[in-house]
Structure 1
Amino acid sequence: VLYFNYCCPWAHRTLLVHGLKGLEDIVRLVEVDSRDQVHGWWFSGRRGPDRDPLYGGRFMKDLYQRADPNYNGRVTVPMLWDTKYETIVNNESSEIMRMFSEAFDDFLPLEKQERNKGDAALVPQHLQKQLDVLNKWVYDTINNGVYKAGFASSQGVYKEHVTRLFQSLDQLEYHLGEGEHYPYLFGEHITEADIRLYPTIVRFDVVYYTLFKCNMKMIRLDYPRIHEWLRRLYWNEGLESAGGVFRKTTNFEEIKRGYTSVAAGNGIIPAGPVPHILPL
C-alpha cells in the first residue's frame, strides 16, 4: 500500500511512477487527506477514507508505531507499507520511485518491464550517469531549493537560496534548448529526471511564487522552454504518459489548500493563478 497526499511533491513523484508503470492492481493507493499540527498526517474523510483502511487508525503515526512501537521520529508521506509483514518498506520518495520502476516488473506485461523498454526506460542505462548528475543539483537547488527559500530563517539565507534556485532554473532553460534535450529533459522519452522535476515546476507559479517568496520570475512568463516542457507533460494523454498520469495526479486545489495551511498559516486558499496551467 502506498500512502500519499496530493499536496506533497515528494508523494507526487511516487504517484507518477506508480501510474506510468501501471501498478494499480499491485500497489494499492490510500490518500491521507489532512494534516494536524500536533499529530501530523491523518485520515479526516474530507477526501480520502476517515480511517486507515487496513487497521482502522485515524493517524499515520499509528502505522509508524505499529512498525516500531518505540518510534518517535517524523511521520511523513509518501510511505510504502508491506501488508504481508505489516511493516514500513520505505518512506523516502526517490527510493520508492526506483522500487516502483523495477521491483514489480515480473508482475507486469512485457512492454511495461524496464528491461524490455530500451531507450524508453525510465532510467536508460546509457543515460544513468547523466541522470544522476542532473537529479542531484535539481534536488538540492530546485526541489529542495524552494523550501530552503520559503522557510529561510534570515534575509541572508533567503537571498542565498532564492538566487541559487533561479540560477538553476536558468540552467534548466538552457539545457532544454540543446537539441538532444527535447521535448523532454533527455530527449524523446520521459525519464526519471522529468518525473523528479515535474512536481516542483507544476507547483511553482501556483504556490512557490507567492507563498514561498520565489518571485523573481514565473515559469509561464519567463521560462518558455520549461513552460513548454511542463505543459507537454501535463496535457499528454498518450501511451508514454499512461493516458494522462501527469494531469490526473495534479490536484491544484489540494496543492493550494495544503500549502496555505503550512506556509501562510491561515488556510485561506488563493484564487489564482487563472488558469492554473495554460493550454499547450
Structure 2
Amino acid sequence: MSVKGRTSFNEVISKTHAIYKPERGRYWIYGALGCPFSQRVMLARSVKGLNSVIGLTVAHWLMGPNGWQFVQGDGKLVGNKAYRYDGGIESTEENNSGKFGDITDDTERLFVDGTPDPHYGVRSIRELYKMSDPEYSGVFSVPLLFDLKTNTIVNNDSGEIIRLLNSGIFDEFVNTETPVDLAPNDLLSELDEFNKWCQQGINSGVYKINNSTFQEEYETKSTELFDALDKVEAKLAAIYKELESRHCQDGKDEILSKFYLFANHITEADIRLYVTIIRFDSIYAQHFNCNWRSIRADYRFIHLWLRNLYWNHDSFRLTTNFDHIKLFYARSFRKTKPTGQIPMGPEFDILKL
C-alpha cells in the first residue's frame, strides 16, 4: 500500500494479521554482509534455525552513490544457496581476510562480491523500496524483510525484525524442540535498557568517532566509546568469575557454554554487541581511528566472549565475512582515507579460542 511521506516499514507477521501470515518460503531477507545492522538479522535468522524457512540475498559490498546494488547474473543459479547462513557467498571460513590487490568498486564476482536477486531481477535495494511503495521517501537501507506474495516490504528496522523472528511465528517450520529465545519475557526490561545503551554508546559510538570534525570532539567521542567498552568488560568479567566459581570442576568448555551477556544462552544483546566487536580490530580501529585500545590486547573478557561466539557457534562464524566487512567500510566510508585503501591487518581478524 502506498503511503505518502512514508519513511519506514514497521509491520509484523502473525496468524491474525490481515496480510502477513507465517508461511515457509514466503518471506525473504535482503541484506549486506559488511553492514552490522544486516548481520544482526542474519544472526537472528540463523540462531533461531530459520535458514531453511527464509531465504537471503546478499547485496554487493559497496554502498555507493546509488545505494546498495545486487550483482547481476542468472537468478536461477542462486537455488538453495539462498538458504545457507551466508546466502551463498563463497567464503574461506578462515580467521583472516585475503589480499585484495587492485580491486575496483565495480567488480562483480558472482557469489563472491554478492548474489543476484532471484525473484525480480532488480539491480538495487532502491527498486525494492519503490516496488513496495512508490511514495516512499526515506533512506534505502538494509536489512529488509520482504514478502514475496504481496511484493512488499514487511519491515526494515533490524531491531524489530529480530523480535519478529524471535516471536515464535515460524516455530512450526523449524526442526528443533527448544528454539533459543533471544528475548525472554523475564529479561525484556533489562534487554531493552542494554540495547538502547549499547546502540548509543558502542554500535553508534564508532560512527560518532568517524564523523568527528575537530580534534577535541574526536577525543571526547573516543573516551565515551572506550568508557562504554570498559563497562562491558566489567560485566563480562563478573559473569565469567561467577561461572568459574560454580563450574570450576567442569572445565572451561562448560563455562563457555554459558558465557553470555544475559542468561545462560544467546540473547539479542549478544547479537547486537557482537556485530560491532567483530569489526573492531579489523576495521574500526584502523579506518575509523578507534585505536586507543584494541579488543584482543586490552579487553580480556570481551575478547574471550567474542571468540567463544565466533568459534563455537556456526551462526556467528558463517555470517561473518571479513572481506566484505573491510571492503564495505574502506570503499563506502572515505572520509578518513579518500583513496579507499583497504587495511591488510591485523594478520588474523580473529584469534583462535
**TM-score normalised to the size of structure 1?**
0.90
Aligned partners of 2:234 and 2:140: how far apart in 1?
38
Pair 1:19 & 2:89 matched:
no
Aligned residues, how many?
A: 268
State the secondary structure of the residue aligned to 2:177. helix
For residue 256 of structure 1, what is the aligned residue in structure 2? 326
CA deviation map 1:14-41 (0-9, x unaligned): 1111111111221110011143532111
For residue 210 of structure 2, what is the aligned residue in structure 1? 150
Q: What is the percent sequence identity of the aligned residues?
A: 44
The CA deviation at 1:57 is: 1.4
Aligned partners of 1:50 and 1:6: how far apart in 2?
11
Pair 1:276 & 2:349 matched:
yes
The CA deviation at 1:187 is: 4.1
Q: Structure 1: any 5+ residue segments left out of the alignment?
A: 114-119
The CA deviation at 1:168 is: 0.4
AA at the equivalent of 1:18? R
Pair 1:29 & 2:56 matched:
yes
Say if 1:138 and 1:197, in contact at 8 Å, map to a contact too.
Answer: yes
| Larger RCO, structure (CA 8 Å, separation 6 or more) | 2
Residues 1:157 and 1:15: Cα distance change in structure 2 (over 3 Å): same
Once the two structures are superposed, the pairs formed by residues 55-134 of structure 1 within 5 Å of their partners are 55-102=120-167, 103-109=169-175, 111-113=177-179, 121-134=181-194
Which protein is bigger by CA-based radius of gyration? 2
Aligned partners of 2:304 and 2:118: how far apart in 1?
40
State the secondary structure of the residue aligned to 2:68. strand
User: Structure 1 segments of 4 or more deviating over 3 A?
Assistant: 47-51, 179-182
Say if 1:64 and 1:88, in contact at 8 Å, map to a contact too.
Answer: yes
CA RMSD of aligned residues (A): 1.8
The CA deviation at 1:211 is: 0.6
State the secondary structure of the residue aligned to 2:146. strand
State the secondary structure of the residue aligned to 1:178. helix
Aligned partners of 1:265 and 1:37: how far apart in 2?
14
**TM-score normalised to the size of structure 2?**
0.72
Aligned partners of 1:105 and 1:246: how far apart in 2?
21
CA deviation map 1:161-204 (0-9, x unaligned): 21111000000010012145861112421111101100100000
Once the two structures are superposed, the pairs formed by residues 98-247 of structure 1 within 5 Å of their partners are 98-102=163-167, 103-109=169-175, 111-113=177-179, 121-179=181-239, 183-236=259-312, 241=313, 244-247=314-317
For residue 249 of structure 2, what is the aligned residue in structure 1? none
Q: Structure 2: any 5+ residue segments left out of the alignment?
A: 1-27, 73-108, 244-257
Aligned partners of 2:338 and 2:147: how far apart in 1?
35
Residues 1:160 and 1:83: Cα distance change in structure 2 (over 3 Å): same
User: Which piece of structure 1 moves more, 48-57 or 266-275?
Assistant: 48-57
